[in-house]
Every structure is written in C-alpha cells, then in structure tokens.
Structure 1
Amino acid sequence: MRGTTIAQEKEARINHEINAPEVRLIGVEGEQIGIVALGVAVSMADEAEIDLVEIAPTAKPPVCRLMDYGKFRYQESKKKHEAKLKQKQVQIKEVKFRPNTDDGDYNIKLRNLINFLVDGDKAKVTLRFRGREMAHQEFGMRLLERVRDDLEEYAMVEQWPRMEGRQIVMVLSPKKKESTAAKNKDTKAKEASSNNVKELSNIK
C-alpha cells in the first residue's frame, strides 16, 4: 500500500508524485497495457490497492508499472542483504617469525600461511628483532625471502619486505586460481612438447 514512509524512502516516484500527463503502463504481471492518462493509471492502482511506480522517468512518455511498492522494496532489500552475506570478507591474518625460528616451527607457520591463503585471506608476515638482533637484519630478510619462495605457488607479494620499527613486514595476497581452460592449454602444451621430444629421440 501507499504511504508517507514509502514515499520518503523510495528512489522512484510513485502515484501522484509522477509528473506527466500520460504514461506507458505495464501491468502487475509485466504485460503491456499501453499509453494511458496518468489519472487513469493512478485509479487502476487505487482499485487494485497497489502502487503506480515510475520505472523509466526519462522515457517519453514515462514508463510506469503497477506493483506493491512496499513489498518490492522489502524483497530488493532482502536480496541485497543476502548477497552481502555471501560475499566473503577478505581478512589479513598475521603470522609472526623470529630471526632464529627453527625448521619445525617454520613449517608449522608455513602451513598456517598456506591455509589462510587457500581460504582467500591475505597474510601479513612479520619478523621482530630483539636487542642486538637489529645488527643482523640480513638474517631476517633472508628468512622472509625463504617464506616468499616457499609460498610462490599460493601467493604473490602485495607489499615487499620493509622495516617498520624493530620488525620487517611483508604482505602476501592469494594467487587467483588458474582457469580450467588455461590449465588444459598448459597441459596440452606440455604433452605436445613431450611428444616432440619422443619423436626426436626415435629419429636418432
């Protein structure tokens, strides 16, 4: 039904707010009714207890449709809300290293990074120095380069390692998944190359 609240919240003009002597009218089921006087269209909406909604104001004459505008706005709002919920919020997960991180701890942290990246999250890799460790920053830089190389299959560097106070920070983004077509093309190329090598071997 029509009401002041709907008129204030709406984006389209409805009912008596429509400023045109005549409109091209579309029915409730989407059927084309044709060009009618605005008063006639509003009367049809009143009789059906629904709204006359201007959906194409720049057309000549404007295109209007008979519908329950309140219900329409509710459904559209619900669709937008559901779509928003489905959109994954990209998070930045942090994993901390030390210059003397041993291999066992390194592998655990590396697995965590892989899990974050596979889930579509960004990863912030930090390496903090303590005391005299600041004099050997090259060790920390080498470790982050090792992390970068070990994650080459899963990530690309968004922010290269840089000093921030007493720590080095690197940010990684998940790599986009290779399309099936690209994978097939790559597979075919490898197979063709392999076949060529076999043929050359047979010739020899």
Structure 2
Amino acid sequence: MIKNEKIKASEIQLTGLNGEDLGIMSTKEALALAKQHKVDLVCLSLMTSPPPCKLISAGAAKQEVQQEKKKTGKSPDKRKVKEIRLNLQMEDHDRDTKQSQAERILKKGDSVKLVIQVHGSKEGTAGKEWAEQLCKSLSEYGSKTTGVQVSGKQVVVQLDPHE
C-alpha cells in the first residue's frame, strides 16, 4: 500500500473521507488536505493515470490491508494437495473407502492427487481406466486439472474442488 509522501504521481484522482469524489488535483494539494484532516492519503492503484487515491484514517487503512490479506489467504493457490495412494490389487471395499476419502477432501476445499501403483504396461492401461472411472465418480465434487499421466510404475491424476 502506497501512502502519503511515497506517492510519486504529480496528479491524482481523489476520493474524500465519506466516499465523495473530490476530482483530479495535484499530489501536494491532496497531501495538504490529508494533513489538515489528520488522515492518510492512500493510493488505490497504479494502473491508471491519474492514479485513484483516497483519504483514509490511519486505523482504517490498516484494517483494509488486513481484510485484503484475509481474502487473499483463501485463494485457490493456497490449497493443499492431498495424495491418496491406490493399488490395482485392492479389494472393492478398500477402493470405496479411498473414494469416499477423496470426496471428503474435495468437499473440504483441498485438491486430491490420486496415485495408482501399477506393474508393467498391461496394468498401466487398467490403471488409466480406473483413474478415468474415479474421475467420473468424483466429478460432482471436483474436476481434473491434469490429464491422467501413466509413467513407469504409477498412474497419476489431480483433481481440484469446484469453486
């Protein structure tokens, strides 16, 4: 957050304490106005010319920064990726348990990486088919972010939860 003397633009678009538009003015005038009201001049964005700025009390500026951090803390890139290991020789009950575990993880908002252990190329195609089948049954809770990858002794696919 850029505020007060750190704002380098010569002109700014100013918004007052109550949200009223004060128009375009020089940065010096805006700083004088901020000092007069004993508040901070905060730059909202550097992407436009003149940059939009706002008069905000010091405590309110800190609160806004904290709220923004809370919002960004729940962004998609902060998701955990939980790995579930599977084996082609598993019994049906164990397969169902692993599938329900994946459903729970996706409902919670985390990503799931399904890793199916295989031996040889014949099992590789069977593993790929099973991975596709799992993706279809979990499609209600999440979608594939990667294709089904068959590499050597394992088949891997990642599912992200729906937004």
TM-score, scaled relative to structure 2: 0.64
Structure 2 counterpart of 1:78: 66
How far has the Cα of 1:171 moved from its partner? Answer: 1.8
- CA contact under 8 A between 1:157 and 1:170: conserved in structure 2? yes
Higher strand share: 2
- CA contact under 8 A between 1:158 and 1:172: conserved in structure 2? yes
Q: Given the alignment of the two structures, is residue 103 of structure 1 paired with residue 105 of structure 2, yes or no? A: no
Structure 2 counterpart of 1:118: 107
Number of residue equivalences: 158
Residue 173 of structure 1: SS of its match in structure 2? strand
Q: Which runs of 5+ in 2 are unaligned?
A: none
Structure 1 counterpart of 2:79: 90
How far has the Cα of 1:96 moved from its partner? Answer: 1.0
Which residues of 2 match residues 179-190 of structure 1 at below 5 A? none
Q: Which amino acid aligns with 2:161?
A: P
Q: 1:153 to 1:11 in 2, by over 3 A?
A: same
Q: Which amino acid aligns with 1:136?
A: K
Q: Given the alignment of the two structures, is residue 160 of structure 1 paired with residue 152 of structure 2, yes or no? A: no
Which residues of 2 match residues 1-204 of structure 1 at below 5 A? 10-11=2-3, 13=5, 28-29=17-18, 42=32, 46=35, 48-50=37-39, 68=57, 70-87=58-75, 89-129=78-118, 133-137=119-123, 138-175=125-162
- CA contact under 8 A between 2:15 and 2:21: conserved in structure 1? yes
- CA contact under 8 A between 1:18 and 1:54: conserved in structure 2? no
Q: In 2, Cα distance between the equivalents of 1:63 and 1:154?
A: 41
| Rg larger in structure | 1
- CA contact under 8 A between 1:13 and 1:53: conserved in structure 2? no
- CA contact under 8 A between 1:155 and 1:174: conserved in structure 2? yes
How far has the Cα of 1:141 moved from its partner? Answer: 2.7
Q: Which runs of 5+ in 1 are unaligned?
A: 1-8, 177-204
Higher relative CO (Cα under 8 Å, sequence separation at least 6) belongs to 2
Residue 76 of structure 1: SS of its match in structure 2? helix
Q: C-alpha root-mean-square deviation of aligned residues, in Å?
A: 4.2
Higher helix share: 1
Q: In 2, Cα distance between the equivalents of 1:134 and 1:112?
A: 27
Q: 1:168 to 1:75 in 2, by over 3 A?
A: same
- CA contact under 8 A between 2:120 and 2:152: conserved in structure 1? no
